[in-house]
Structure 1
Amino acid sequence: MGAGRIIAVVVAALGLAVASPSSAQTTGSLTMGAAARATPAAAEAARTALPAVVVAAHVGVEGQRTRLTFDLTRPVEMRAFALADPYRVIVDLDEVNFHIAPPQAQSRGLVKTFRFGLFAPGKSRIVIELTGPATIERALTIEGGEGTPPRLHLDLVRTDADGFRRAMTERAVSNIARRGDRETLGPRLSPRVEEDGGPPLIVIDPGHGGIDPGAIAPSTGDEEKMIVLDFAKVLRDKLAAGGRYRVLMTRDRDIFVPLADRVRMARDARAQLFISVHADSIRGANENARGVTVYTLSDRASDADSERLAERENKADAIAGLDLSEEPSEVADILIDLTRRETRIYSANFARTLAGEMRQVTRMHTLPLRSAGFQVLRAHDIPSVLVELGFVTSRRDVEMLTSAIWRERTADSVSKAVDQFFAARNRGPVAPAARR
């Protein structure tokens, strides 16, 4: 492995745990009055207080073997395992900062592409999409030395589907991606927020985040996860101003939150309205599409484009490397509960009010009210909408979405729609929403 020293490797079929001891202590000095010196331990503590940084990534191919390495500023603990449907390798590590550009679309060897980001508080993740089934031959952390930086090192070897399945059944660490990690994802909530009295509670859900960038603007490289987070923060501040509403965000920074956890947050908090914020993308015959679309939940999509969008958004957990093979069956029960007429009517009426207010200040899609089976809207007892603010595949929409002036104006319109929604609820039962 060159001049580097292997720190530690524990291999269990496709589950690999790697522990790295503290790096060699370094000395430093601190001038305080009479030139006092910091101890080596204090210097090391200061050096490791900030997250390590991934500064480079390399992919090499030799026959059936593909080697993937990530250069670091200091060693970190890591863990690697493989998942199927689609074939991918997951690398979990202590929180790091990524100072590398996203990889090019062109695949090399077994690596189709990879993505990276914050997965949970204190934890980062790299998801490596594979061109086919593979086993992890080696996964280890190497401590740098003699001009060689510390590295994460993975050797992947091509196999067939049967070989992959055999390796999966032998994996000693089962479902690492979900068990244990799920408890730390997203903002923490008290078990229940007071039910009666006080301002209404609204949950704002900025889509994607962390390891999952969402759609990426081809013209500028802007990522959906940051576009919608910026908008959600402005909307939060407007709704919370003056104490009219209590506001909870499913994420308030660049972090991944599973879809089911977003719904669970809203239900645990007894939210009275759920607004999920996204930015759309489209290719093909409709690639010139622009403007805002407001979606409500339906087990049958209103049109083919809406169905494709819901399928894409519902893949967020797989994109982030969650193993969904043991996903709870509660979704089926929730879909049955969605027949509750009152919640569906409230959702549809808020969608109509929201589209009407937003139309006053921004461009709307030619079909601004749609429906599809979005998993994030499946809280059966909370009126819920998903707002696509625009299309990142439209250069003009991207200019709009990244404008602070546009964010302020559009968030104002959403705030007005929320005011109307709760004013109508306080007046009593609502009439069924008109169909469009």
Structure 2
Amino acid sequence: MPTRARPFRCLLLALSLLAACPAGAQDGERNRNAAVAIAADLTAGANGATKLTFTLSKPVEARAFVMERPDRAVIDLAEVNFQVDAETGRRREGLVQSFRYGLFAPGRSRVVVDLAGPATVGKIETVARQRDGATLLSIEFQRADREAFRKAAVASDPLPALRKSLAAEPADSRPLVMIDAGHGGTDPGAIASTGVFEKDIVFGFAQALVARLESYGRYRVRMTRDRDVFVPLGERVRIAREAKADLFISIHADSISAAPQVRGATIYTGSEKATDAESAKLADRENKADAAAGTDSAAPPTDVADILQELTLRETRGFSAGFARTLMGQIGPVMEMSGKPHREAGFVVLRSPDVPSVLVELGYLSSKRDLDLLQSQEWRESVTGSMAKAVDQFFTNRATLGRPSGPPRKAASIAPVSP
């Protein structure tokens, strides 16, 4: 073996072993056979084409399609453990404006390429590099006119996203609390100046909140995502409704790079009309998460078809607002709150007609003070403790007031979600 190839092969072997070593038994089993990506490179050719090349530990199958509004290309892969420099995807070259990658569904990874203009996917090649044993996966993008691009987008038939199945549970009368960690997988959410992703901050917080609630023994607790995987917005609502959740709490963190002095938490409840322009803009930005991950967003079915169901929705929103006020009262003494701590906006994840739902923006990644607190274990324990008290108070009140009345809940449809 040539001397120069030996270190690279050792690196490939080490990363492959790392992918197979479990942080937990389930993760180890899931990642055991995953390929490892250790580099990504963009090159623009003289013919106007642009090539994106991943260096992998072993071959993987790839399938690509394009989507319009915004213009992007999506590459679906078997599961890949991406060990690539985070800055790599922010580089612009030729037809590629930027790209992002991550776990999209169990056993599947996805690369979403933001295109600088209309382009179609040309050749997808997998070749073995003889000198070190690496596998090079190359995807070529070719410039196209708008009409040709539109036809290619219409003709795309992406694989349906794998629905998250919910196993039947034995009878358990304890309330079910659904914790929703925002973003995930190919959708990083807001990004701090330090490079920290919102998806990682809120997932860690959500796990801590789940652990706190489970320790009480009074609740069943689930998460809409239990790892760094993308879950479409409407799917999060369906997961909660299919499980017949009694409360839905979505965890997020905002960012305003132009105003680093702005900080504090805000609690949102659902409404067709936002309380202010800032809330409307935030909801619009959050509702575009599906598009950022290469999925066409569709509003979840509300099942509001008659007056009785309309009353159910109104009553559910009343419970949501009540929990928001309770939550504000509990967390206010232990964390900074924004100038308007309770607001309303049309977030997709808050559109369930029969599950009281709130979205909590924990703070701003653009604020150094908020970012420090969001990464503090002591702060996290204090805030999750106060949130758990709010959950206790909410269900104590519900025992007196009763659940929202109205028609029996319908099981959410099992229609596939198309990327």
8 Å Cα contact 2:237-2:300 kept in structure 1: no
2:90–2:99 CA contact under 8 A, matched in 1? no
Compared CA separation, residues 193 and 258, structure 1 to 2 (3 A): farther
**Which residue pairs with 1:134 in the alignment?**
119
Partner deviation per Cα, 1:160-194 (whole Å, 9 max, x = no partner)? 1111123334x4x5133xx2x232x4xx3136775
- Post-superposition shift, 1:331? 5.3
Change (3 A) 1:211 1:369: same
Deviation at 1:49, TM superposition (A): 4.1
How far apart, CA to CA, are the structure 2 residues paired with 1:278 and 1:315?
14
Partner residue of 1:70 out of 42, 54, 58: 54
Structure 2 Cα separation of the partners of residues 247 and 312 of structure 1: 28
> Does 2:162 match 1:182?
yes
Deviation (angstroms), 1:293: 0.5
* Residue 60 (structure 1) aligns with: 43
Match for residue 161 of structure 1 among 129, 146, 151 = 146
Shift of 1:335: 12
2-structure distance, mates of 1:381, 1:52: 42
2:188 pairs with 1:217: no
For the 8 Å contact 2:190–2:254, the answer to whether it is kept is yes
Letter in 1 for 2:301: E
Deviations 1:337-369 (A, max 9, x none): 566321111111110110111011111111111
Moved over 3 A (4+): 191-194, 331-339
- Cα offset, 1:323, TM superposition: 3.4
Inter-partner Cα distance in structure 1 for 2:338 and 2:77: 41
Q: CA deviation at 1:371?
A: 0.8
Match of 2:72 in 1: 88
Q: Deviations over 1:30-89 (max 9, x none)?
A: xxxxxxxxxxxxxxxx9x944211111111112421111111111111111111111111
Query: The residue matched to 1:262 in structure 2 has which SS?
Result: helix
Q: Is this contact kept in 2: 1:78–1:141, CA < 8 A?
A: no
Quickly say closer, same or farther: Cα 1:332–1:303, change in 2 above 3 A: farther
Cα 1:295–1:209 shift into 2, 3 Å: same
Partner of 1:393: 366
User: Are 1:364 and 2:337 counterparts?
Assistant: yes
How far apart, in 2, do the equivalents of 1:61 and 1:335 lie? Answer: 57
1:313 aligns with 2:286: yes
Q: Which amino acid aligns with 2:353?
A: H
Between the aligned partners of 2:219 and 2:157, the Cα distance in structure 1 is 42
Aligned residue number for residue 32 of structure 1: none
The answer to whether the 8 Å contact 1:334/1:379 transfers is: no
Correspondence 1:51 to 2:26: no
Q: How far apart, in 2, do the equivalents of 1:308 and 1:323 lie?
A: 19
Structure 1 distance, partners of 2:206, 2:302, is: 27
1:427 aligns with 2:400: yes
CA offset digits 1:225-253 (Å, max 9, x no partner): 11111111111111111311110111121
Structure 1 letter corresponding to 2:328: A
Letter in 2 for 1:279: A
Match of 2:354 in 1: 381
Q: CA 1:411 to 1:243, structure 2 compared with 1: closer, same or farther past 3 Å?
A: same
**Separation (CA, whole Å) in 2 of partners of 1:331 and 1:390:** 30
Compared CA separation, residues 418 and 246, structure 1 to 2 (3 A): same
- Distance 1:400-1:142 versus aligned 2 partners, 3 A rule: same
Question: What are the equivalent positions in structure 2 for 1:267-346 lying under 5 Å apart?
Answer: 267-284=241-258, 286-324=259-297, 327=298, 330=301, 333=304, 340-346=313-319
Instruction: Give the residue type in structure 2 aligned to 1:60.
Output: T
Which of the pair has more CA radius of gyration?
A: 1
Q: 1:143 to 1:227 in 2, by over 3 A?
A: same
C-alpha contact (below 8 Å) 2:233/2:348 kept by paired residues: yes
Question: Structure 1 residues 237 and 338, CA, compared in 2 at 3 Å: closer, same or farther?
Answer: farther
Select between 286-295 and 124-133 the one with higher mean Cα deviation.
286-295
CA distance in structure 2 between the aligned counterparts of 1:262 and 1:164, rounded to whole angstroms: 31
Match of 1:109 in 2: 94
Q: Work out whether residues 82 and 102 of structure 2, in 8 Å CA contact, stay in contact via their aligned partners in 1.
A: yes
Report what 1:350 is aligned to. Answer: 323
Instruction: Please say if residues 303 and 353 of structure 2, whose CA atoms lie closer than 8 Å, have aligned partners that are also in contact.
Output: no
CA contact (8 A) 2:302 2:352 kept: no
Q: CA deviation at 1:282?
A: 1.6
- Change in 2 beyond 3 A, CA 1:309/1:317: same
Higher helix share: 2
* CA deviation map 1:129-172 (0-9, x unaligned): 10111011211222232347311111111111111123334x4x
Gap change, CA 1:335 and 1:310, over 3 Å in 2: farther
Aligned equivalents of 2:354 and 2:386: distance in 1? 25
After superposition, the Cα gap between the structure-2 partners of 1:49 and 1:235, relative to the gap in structure 1 and judged at 3 Å, is: closer
C-alpha contact (below 8 Å) 2:252/2:359 kept by paired residues = yes
- State the shift of 1:307 in Å: 0.7
Q: Write the letter of the residue equivalent to 2:192.
A: A
Unaligned runs of at least 5 residues, structure 2: 1-12, 14-28, 404-419
- Check the 8 A contact 1:272/1:382 in 2, yes or no: yes
